[in-house]
Amino acid sequence: MELSSPRFKALAVTAGISFWFFIITTSIGRFSLTSLAIFVVISLIISQIFAVKLSRVLDIFAIINTKIFLGILFVFIISVYGIFFKMLRIDLLRLKKQKTTYWINMEQLKESRLFKQY
């Protein structure tokens, strides 16, 4: 973001702020399209007017917003993987034996089937 123009930074920060406005108002049950539109227009106008003067602040806000968003996305993806592995009964650490698992049971392999390849 440091190499981007101040106007683009202002636009990106407005999109980030609008996203968080949507998340917060939806979670408290006060979301409406008119309030979102008004918020977007006001924040876009203010950020575009002061884009050159607030360039460093917009940079910092964009970095913080990105870290928070990516952190939440990372936690969500890890949670989804955990849910899928639990549903499919995949034991990545092989801590316990399960009847219906996708891992190869090593006791079923006979030594006669194993041979050296050179």
In a domain, 106, yes or no: no
- Judge whether 14 lies within some domain: yes
Residue with tokens 């006060």: 30
In a domain, 40, yes or no: yes
Q: Reply yes or no on whether the pLDDT at 78 is more than 70.
A: yes
- Under 8 Å between Cβ of 19 and 80: no
Residue 116 within any structural domain of the chain: no
pLDDT at site 61? 84
Dig out the tokens for 30 from the structure: 């006060």
The overall pTM is greater than 0.85: no
Number of domains making up the chain: 1
Q: What is the pLDDT of residue 88?
A: 81
The answer to whether position 117 is within a domain reads no
More confident residue, 88 or 115: 88
In the numeric block, which tokens belong to residue 7?
A: 């106007």
> Quick one: pLDDT at residue 115?
61
59: containing domain: 6-92
For the CA atoms of 30, 35, 17, 56, what is the dihedral angle to 10 degrees?
-140
**Residue at 17 is within a domain:** yes
Q: Can you tell me which residue has the tokens 């940079």?
A: 59
Asked if residue 77 belongs to a domain, the reply is yes
How does DSSP assign 32-45, residue by residue? Answer: -HHHHHHHHHHHHH
112 within some domain: no
Share of residues in the chain with pLDDT > 90 (%): 25
Residues in the chain: 118
The predicted-structure confidence for 60-72, as pLDDT tens digits, reads as follows: 888 888 888 888 8
